[in-house]
Structure 1
Amino acid sequence: MISTVNNSSCADNFTEGQIPNQQSQRNNNRLQLQSFIDQYGIVKTRTPTINRIKKHLNKFCKTLSCISIINALLNRIPIIRCLKEYNIRTSLFGDIIAGITVAIMHIPQGMAYGLLTTLPPVYGTFAITSLMTGQAIDGASLEYSNVINNESYVLSNISEAMIISEKVGLATTLAFFVGMVQLTLSIFRLGFLTVYLTEPFISGFTAGAAVHVFSSQIPSVFGIVIGTIISHFTEIHNRHGVSVVGPIKQGLPPPISPPFKQISYLVVHAVPIAMVTLCISISMAKMFSRKHNYKVSSNQELLAYGISNTVSSFFQCFPSGCSMSRSAVQEGSGCKTQLVGGFSCLVLGIVIVALTPLFKSLPMACLAAIIIYYGMCKPRFSVLGQIDNTEIYKNIKLFPVARQFVNIKILRFDESLYACNAPFFKRKFYELIGIKLRQEPLIPYEMLNLNQNEGIRYKYVVLDCSPFNFIDTVGVKLLIEIYNDLKKRDIKLYLSECRYDVQHTLELMNFYEKTAPSIIYVTTHDAVMFIRTQSDHGND
């Protein structure tokens, strides 16, 4: 018993003796760390806020000079630098052609988008000219135009019972506040906020907008769809009550201050319009910047959009966003600099000043058809891969396990091929196989093809035609053109899974005589196996 007690006491003494040792060890560690900081570290003393402000002001004043001011202006107003470095010989022709081409698209599409705001179509043309001018002066991106797009559909939430003048007032006030929101974000350097507008968020928003845009045009498109000339000379507006655009005032309206009505209501709508517009525009700008190797500043884009929307609100315009279709056309038409916006503005100004009577008989149904057609003429292209140990080929984006072959590219166009989507088909087809097409009309075709095959690693292309319900003459001619072009590049094209109606059209158009008899296979797997057999035997 005594022994047990003594042992217990020793244990207690041992434990109690260890506690001071552990505490002293921790103190030594802290002292060692502190001594290390004292010896090798930097002692920071907190500077008063006033002193920090004075320090920054002194630094700013020392760096302030004429050169720094000029550089700041050049960075904020890129058109100045563009004019200074403009090469007339290499850029002027492309800018003029692209400007005229895009201006031709602006007029009907701008009027059509004007309908989405429940305003008369003429206000779409007013907005185009003012915003194109603002883009030419302040736009930082080279390839896309600051023009009217589907973001303006939010305005259709405004009561339809209001008279036109009140609607115009609300639209211009909304444009003003959208511009002010964008300017505020630019001043406080908040362009980084676009990172938080994720792709799923934008996709959901644009999908909802597409449904709204499509459904809003159904009442108009079921009108009598007839050309403007027939409408004018047959007077179907008076005889049959077909809605037409009506008289359009010539010239720009005089500047007038927005009425600033229902401010609290409009500000709530202005913030999401400004942010979504910016996010979509930045996405487009970054796409072109990667393609042409230049940088995009989200804060600069905010500044450009803010100035455009704020200034244009005094000319009876509604909010704007980038146009995907016209941006692609403008880039593909050979534009080189921001001056392309100025040339488009010049053409549109001439139309508004002198040619507006030509559009008064344009049926509203035609404008509705433009909007719906745009949404229907851009189907999807899929890249296919083989599921292991099967003869099944699936979209590699939906089935990541699908295997692609080294020298073979398998594509599927998820729509019938006809005149309306043929240009999109050609552009996307070449893009997916790694060939960059350039539209340089002054350069011979033979020179265009020089060095075009650099980076191409495909010798065979298989086009799965199973989605083709039909193909028209334009589609057949395009396939013949692509086949012959790829043949010059030492690339072989094969078709698979063509429906009977498609094969019949190909026969009527002498497709096999202009290409090759063995170009079409029953299934995609048959085409792939034939190619692999030929490759194994070295019969390239």
Structure 2
Amino acid sequence: GISYGMGLKHIFGVDVVGNISAGLVPPVAPNTQLFSKLVGSAFTIAVVGFAIAISLGKIFALRHGYRVDSNQELVALGLSNLIGGIFQCFPVSCSMSRSLVQESTGGNSQVAGAISSLFILLIIVKLGELFRDLPKAVLAAIIIVNLKGMLRQLSDVCSFWKANRADLLIWLVTFAATILLNLDLGLMVSVVFSLLLVVVRTQMPHYSILGQVPDTDIYRDVAEYSEAKEVPGVKVFRSSATVYFANADFYSDALKQRCGVDVDFLISQKKKLLKKREQLKLKQLQKEKKLQKQAASSKGASVSINVNTSLEDMRSNNVEDCKVMVSPGDKMEDATANGQEDSKAPDGSTLKALGLPQPDFHSLILDLGALSFVDTVCLKSLKNIFHDFRDIEVEVYMAACHSPVVSQLEAGHFFDASITKKHLFASVHDAVTFALQHPRPVPDSPVSVTRL
């Protein structure tokens, strides 16, 4: 009334609300020809609208102590936009200014929202012309006063800096992207940046070697708990994050580093020494074969016994009952027989026999309680860990796997003849107890002898 009576618009040039169309638009069916042109923009508007709605909902939920169901909010927005589209309405979402005004006036229930909606409907239908001369500055003042609490959130920068700098980085990127770009692009940038930051943070989890608290079945990080002591002969390794394609290599590297053993170096040295030993054996056998041929040619009357004939075959054919003249080449036959007997001797391919340092533990336990899922890269990484540590005579066990993770291991064909479910335990303490009672024995597979 004051604006109209004093002529603020015509005399002083004050901006006013202006004409407000009265009545409702009759419902019409959507124009399907516009779908292909509007699908991209519609998707962006839907994402932005849902993000604003759920953000405001969580803000008020924290203030008043209730819970917001994201699925329910999404269904409500979808139905509202579906019905509103028939009446050619603007996209439906939450209004920050109106929500704050309603909350500041004490409207905390759905009844307040219903009354507010009825009042707006009444204005649209009949009372819109009464607000024609209302200065826009009045509306701006109402909005700014109610946005005071939101503007105070700029002070959260200091608290984020002290509490969590990763969240501060997300806050700053979102703020800058929204100011410099428009709202939809700014929101998209912030979402993508948040996802990338999650991936980066999972690549830098906390790795630890666990020790047992005396007289308990509790295992804690030995670097953080002074009372936790490592179990002699057993290493327990744990990661604070799940293992997947983005951090599987980091997991393997951290495991080998924390165990205090250069696994790759030992494996490479072992392979080199075994290869060198095989080459020396081959040269020795070739030399003995050459000597045998020379001895056989010098005494043609001597009887030559086939080198490939084993002692058992000789006994079965009663060769020992025959009195023959033995040539000097018999020395080669004796060497071959001795080689066959040596093949039943203990394995000479162990680290100790090769002169390589042995790890100070015989069992490695992987605490997989942090795993929420496994992918193919994780499966391959775990199998490589089993194979690598077995090459240096260390047995590997897994502990504290959740049931869904075990099911995924089975579906990925992780368990086989060499890695069975006997290597899987319900808790770390069970695995430690089993490892202490069953230390992995030194392999005693026979050395292969090349027969000529």
Query: What TM-score range do you get, normalising by the shorter chain?
Result: 0.3 to 0.5
Higher helix share: 1
User: Which protein shows a greater Rg?
Assistant: 2
Q: TM-score, normalised by structure 2?
A: 0.38
Q: TM-score, normalised by structure 1?
A: 0.32
Q: Which has the higher contact order (CA 8 A, sep 6+)?
A: 1
